[in-house]
Structures are given as C-alpha cells and as structure tokens.
Structure 1
Amino acid sequence: MKIVQAQRTESTEWDYLTGNQQLKNPLVFVFANRFLLEDKSIIESIRQEFPYQDLVFGSTSGEIIGQNVTENSISVTAVEFEKSSFIVKRANILAHDKNAHALGIELINEIPKEDLKHVFVISEGSFVNGSSLIDGIESGIDDTIALTGGMCGDDARFEKTLASYQEDPKEGEVIAIGFYGVSLEISFASYGGWIPFGPERSITRSEGNILYELDNVPALDIYSKYLGDKAAELPQASLFYPLNVTATGKKHPVVRTILNIDKENNSMILAGDVPLNAQVQLMMASVDGIATGAYEAAKLAIKNRNQPADLAILVSCIGRKLVMDQRVEEEIEEVIEVIGQNASVSGFYSYGEMAPYQSERACELHNQTMTLTLISE
C-alpha cells in the first residue's frame, strides 16, 4: 500500500506530509471545511494537484491528518492498493425524499458482493437519519461484512454539509466504498468516554430521529431546564450534553447528539433513531475522559490484528472537539501511541460516527465517540 498525504489552506500552497509521488488509480479522500469545498478555485486546485479519478469529498468540523487537527483547511490522503481493490458508489438523499433507508438499499445494491470485505460510508450530515441509512445498507450484506464511516460536518454551524464522489461537492450526497481483497485486513472500534448523569427517563413519544416527550413531558422543556441559560444556545449547546439512549432489548446504549430543535412543537431532532420506550440520560465529559476514550478505542481496534495498520481513518465527533478545545490533538496522540507511528492517519470531526460494537458485526450510529477504521494489506 502506497499513501500520499498533503494539506493546504485557502491562502497557502500544498504541504506534503509524505513524498509527492505519482500513484496508480488511488482512492483519494478529501476532507475539508465546507466553505472551501464551495470554492470552485479550491476544487480546481485539488483536481490539478491530484489528477485522479476516484476522489471522495467530505465537509468536516475539523480535519485530522498525521498528528494534527486543523480547521479551515483541506487534507488529502491518496491510497494506492497493491493487492486489493475498491468500488465507490454514490446516491443523493434529496432524490429519495430524504428517505435514508431507501437510499441505503439503493447504494448497497450497486456494490458487488463477491469477495466484498468491508463497506466504508461518508454521508451527508445535516438531515440524513444515520440509523435508517445503516439499516438500509446492512439489509443488503451478510453479517460477515462490517460497515464503518461517518457523517459529514460543518464546524458547529449546523447549516449544511457537503460530500461527493468524482463530482463537485454538493448537499445530500452519501458515498459508499466497498473494499475487496484476500490480503486486506480491516479492523475497527468506537469508544466515547462520556459519563451519564441525572435521572433516567423513558421516551414516551418519538418518531424516527425526532424526540417529542420524555416521561410524557415535552423533551425540549426538560432539556432546556437542565441547560439553564445555555438553552438559548441550542442546538450548539447540546454538543456538551448529549443523550445516552438505551433501546428496549439492546445490550449497549448509544449516544445521541441533537442536530436541531423545533420550538413550535417542543421537539428535538437527533442524529439517529430515538426509539419509543428507550431509557434516556444526559451525559457530560472531561478532557481527560475523552482522551482516555480515544486510547480505549485504539486498543480495541488493534486487538487481534495480524499486522500493523498502514492507514488509520479516524472519525471523531464535533462535541469532543469543542470540549477538548486547545487540547483536541491529545486524543489523536493517544490513538497514535497505540497504533504506532508508521500508520498514516487521516480523518475528520463529524456529526455522527458509524461502527459496530467490539466483537459484533451489526453497525450502530454513534455520537460523541472516537471511531477508528484500520486498514492494511
């Protein structure tokens, strides 16, 4: 596996973390600030510097490349597989009346299943129900094939996100990458480090990813009461106090971030499903807790691997970045300490992370986690 990595800002030239060598038919990840992806001159610069066919774009809430976390930048990771192969497919949620489940089915049906090893997804992050998207994709693969990935970000603005494959970045895009190859080894893990607090409540009214009532009381009223003065800063303030959701019959809870609020009906729109009768608690975190969570995620990801990772794709939540603030690179350092200095590190801060729980194959949508996908040949 050959990997080339480079980064730039709007006002600087390309800075290569690796040698600037020509690659043969690489898979190219382009993670960047949304405003830069809307700039035609920037897109042209990317295409000129990386004149390849398989460019995958995603907007972020911060770019991860090497040991660094950057903002308002473009990070590019081009990967040439020597023994393995990949197939990339795209679909747009706006063409499916925002039905993420139907889109997921369409995407996975376009990906050949023979010798399929893994599926990695980069999704629109503003209005896609990540849980439904995962369910749609997993309906077309068996339980020997794992799914990981993330939902694009837009800093803490929550205005719109962009993604694309080959075409210029646009709203509503969902990208699925199928990886193939006997020699390909892919492992993954996801871990948070957040702590539940306060009383546990039951979801008494919800619809998909919209939460209306907890214990028969408008959910937004309860949440706003806990936030106090910070309630005026919703939905951004919710990144510091996500919800811990344990669905009936599920062994593990999932963390849910609030993407938006509707004051007219006192509801909250979350990144993934919030099932009826699920148990809910607020959560909080410390900088040390988040850094430890990243360390634990990395330990889980390398467990039982046969060889060191060549490429580590990190998807971490915007909420973690806001809590850690100036110390945000500490969680990247924790990951690198575990996986080793030889792995090329790429990734982004997101509005949602996709990965199964350790030792399981069914994928879940997570919020507020560090999620790793480790790849080697």
Structure 2
Amino acid sequence: MTKVAFYAPMKPPTHPVPSGDRAMGRAILAALRDGGIEADLVSKLQTRDKDGHVDTQARLLALAEAEATRLIAQGRYADWQVWITYHCYYKAPDLVGPTVAAALNLPYFQIEATRARKRLNGPWSTFAQAAEAASDAADVIFHLTARDAESLYAYAPAHQRIVHLPPFLPRNDLPPASSGDGPMLSVGMLRHGDKFASYELIADTLTLLKTPDWRLVIAGDGPALNAVASIMQPFGDRVELRGSLDDAALGEAYGQASLLFWPGVNEAFGMTYLEAQAAGLPVVAQDRPGVIDVLAPHQHPTPAGGPEALAQEIDLLLGDCAERARRGQAARDYVATHHLLGAASKTLCDAITGTIA
C-alpha cells in the first residue's frame, strides 16, 4: 500500500475547533483513504503568525527546525513514499516539509498553496519567503480555485506540475434534500475581520428585505459573538444565533433551511457552500474570487451591487417556492457532478501513483 506523510501547518485535521480549513484537511485524508493510500499525520506543529511579529516567526522557525530533525530521524525507518502539505501560505508556511522531503528523497506535494509576492517585504517577509521557497520546492501543487492558479502558473519552476483539485465533500453520496421551507441559514465563524464583514453585510441586507415573514438562523461561534449579537439585536426573534453545531446538528439545519445566505467576503472558497448545495439549498452569495468556484452556475450578485442586490435575490427566492426548488436542485446536481469524494480521490491518487511509479 502506498503511504504518505501528511502535514497541515495552518491547522491539523485533528484540531478541536471546527473550521473550513479543518474540514478540507479531513476531506483530503478521506480522499486518500478512498483511493487506497494510507496517510500518516506526521506533525501537529502550527506555524501560523496572524499578526506579523518577528519574534513569533523566529520562535516558530526554531520549533520547525527541531520538528524537521525529529521527522528526518523518524522517516528513515518509516515507509513514506510522498510528502503532502495542505495549505501553505505567507501567514502559515510549511517550514518542515521541504527539509524533510529533501533529506529523505521524497516527492514533495502541496495542496492549496498560495503565492503572495507582495508580502516578501513587510512584517511577514520571513514567512512569505519561506512559503515561496516551499512552493518552489514542490514537485506537484494542487490548486483549489482559479484565483490561486494564476500566481502558481506565473511563478512555477520548470520541474513543477500544477493540477486542479476542485474543493469537495468527503462523501460519495448526497445527504437528504432539504424541505426548502424553513428559515434562511448563515454558517460562519463569529470572528472579527473578514468574517465580521460578512455579518455586517447580512445585517444591512436584512433591513432591506420586503418579504414580511423572513427568519434567519446563524450557526457559528467565536470571539465576535457579542458583536454579531449586537448588530442582529434590532431584528428581535427573527434572527436566532444557534452557536457552534456539530456535524449532525448542522446537517439537520441544512435539511430544514430554505436557502443559505453567506456573502463570502474574502473567503478562500467556503465548505459551507458545498454542504448547503449538497442538501439542495440555493445560495445567496456575492460573485467573489474563490467563492464563485464552488457555486452552481447563476448570475450571482456582485460586490458592487451591495446589500440591495443581495436583498433582491433573497426576496425573489423567498417569494417563489418553485424558483427556490429549481435553484436548489440545480445546486444539488452541481455538487454531485463536480464536488464529491470519488473525483477528488482519483485526481489526488493518480498524481501520487504516477509520480512514484
């Protein structure tokens, strides 16, 4: 059996806090298993420096050097045939994989690597340079979105293969279809920054709705809980903050919702879009890079349209159950065709076995 060393410097798939990053990491492991490849999670070292602190980067570099030394020693007695790193970028570079792969003469793969050369100067310069070096070292890089592909192709060294791996759900079938007649649903971590910008846009949109009896359930938790609760307070009991939901409870929420409403400000792509569409929910989101890669074809509102365009889209769907059902089925069919486990497993495993053959 083919065996790979797997590492996720941003967040290991065993991390206790739910996130899209963790979900995608788990999905990758499921895809490898589905293709008959065994993956060892070889390190849980998280290299993320969210604030651009030189001292933080120096500390993580020292930890990574020690971790690489440990893994080189371990790898001499392991039967790894490939090293795979998931999600390497300037705030959380792979400081371990290139060193270990080179020492053990392993092909080095990356999944969802991003190049950000504008960060080569500034507070993240050390980490940005490390992320660029890791990307340069990769034999194969799988990109998830068209936006990531642009810079990967632009700066790829001659030896490197770039492969498209569409984001996917870790399942080969679809969940039961939603009833389509429940409340709207928003799913996202409650944190400041880009996530909070989506919640602010949601609140602005809700004030413009003409549909009289709308309701919204928000699934998520985090440090911006009080801030989100505050901006939703004017809507009273029409907005319910349900907190963090486990997989079963979230699946139930999808199954009862009428649509998913998540604008997607600066989302990489968003697993919640795939989960919602798999359940047959039409999605109200903005046409943004990354997000658009996982949405069923439709004329989605642009950011320039602001909350007014989002409100028009919601009013249309809430007021026309036939259109809502049509869009929901189209979304479900789209996920079944493009974003389930089987196709992803074949893409990953063909590249791995073709490299080591």
Answer 1 or 2: higher relative contact order, Cα 8 Å, separation at least 6.
Answer: 1
Say yes or no: TM over 0.5: no
**Higher Rg:** 2
Q: Which has the higher helix share?
A: 2
